[in-house]
Structure 1
């Protein structure tokens, strides 16, 4: 795949509407991504942010290894040195990632001490240099995920300046978290909720840059809200909402294109959907169960623990009959010594039994 493929095509008529799950530290690891891929074929998935220096000096197999079934999956890098970012991007491409994304939005103390992440909103020329270096190093898309500004910056100025510079450097897309980041006075958690959202600014940014892919992130809590945003931008990115109510991903394929193939939204035919828009076919969910059991078995055989997999599954059935029992089984039994894939089977049986009981009552 090249940067000019349909993934982030510069031709607006050929550009797919992309749904992405945001990169989230401690959450979007390989086990979560495997689960997400069972729920949606069309969602673009991201790794947790990985610092370029760690890739250059650390255990690359542990840091970058992923299951091919996760594709399309993008590697998010943190850093501010163009040469190191380029080399890390090259390594990521060799591992098979579909995209390299530069983090210009994380406000944590860790990134502030390293002067990358959201700090780089103040250094747009550095971001542009990194983008240019990565573009020269790889053939896959290179993208940027940023905030609208930090601290006392004027977002109308800061965001436009950053986007203009990275566009000139050749970025294939800009994903904008539509809030400022306050590096002084707010914790990373508070930075996800307290600074006000400014979707209108991102909408204007898109109208001013018709040939650049602009995606929006921040405060999108439902799939319906995400779909509404497609009248303004090219892509939508959900984080916590998609993680905590991950069954919403089962309806993504019915609304969004496949980012690699450009395939149109899927037709679910007569398959029943829940009131929340989630797929409800017992056969579909039995397939998810079986895939997760096999994945867990492989992880355990390699020396891992069941909880590494099941901790990402707790939010699968929010609001469904049997969901409470599903959570109880995963939360209690998956942590026990010697716990195996049978715990996943028991948890799913709680959902299937509750659904059967509900149907019988009706």
Structure 2
């Protein structure tokens, strides 16, 4: 199955709809009643995903051994029971995080005809986009985005990155470099916590040289009827691991837990980390990828940066042999990351169906 060359319908930029001053959203953005955020069991309380402080984790000070053990255990607990956690004191400079978010906000506020020169297609998704999935007549999400490749180097073409603001390419190059370094460290911890050698998961991804890394910048414009639509429909990430830089001032990410939607409250200069489908497969479901979605609001726009750390696209991904026993047989057949990714690019975000898991099975976990 190959990716189509173009979208099934003319592309409408959600930002243009928002800026036009409409009071009702077009029908193609209106979700079925059961999927609308006002009717779908959102929690309105103080529950939040775990927050883990990495301060001192990567230093060589022997006095930090006990502290490191505690942090490892917190990460293990979060990966097994939540699939999501926030990390503070992760080593990426706070000022770089702020700058990365704001150069993209500035990009999205450039004139539409200038942004249109970067319009994407479903063939690679790289560039300026406004929909996922290529099914004609699909109900769409209330968001625009920009997608770009960082690794492997053969896919990174700076000319496909916006040339404005003038600092964008330099800032995002440095930001991506820092996040990849953070991901490499985190992969060692995830592997060790499974009782494996610390390089097992990284090697299953293709090693340091062959991993894939890409960035999706999400722009969620103001919406006149936020109770009828979503910025991003429920899904689990088909890749390996996602590092999200959220909007510090506007909440929107919701994580599904026990049949309810929990709105994530971002900590200051924290990364939100979530397990993707490929790590769930490699861990034979010891670690969980979890459904999440994004809500929008009528008062404020929202910008977030989702950095995806993925296996080499054509490698077969299957449960790590050391984690498979007679009592715990492999839960997933060998498949390439490309197969998972193409499923989502064809169907759009649809829960965890790419893993063969239903909404009901998700609720029971």
Q: Same fold by TM (over 0.5)?
A: no
Q: Give the TM-score band, short-chain normalised.
A: under 0.3
Higher relative contact order (CA 8 A, sep 6+): 2
Higher helix share: 1
Higher strand share: 2
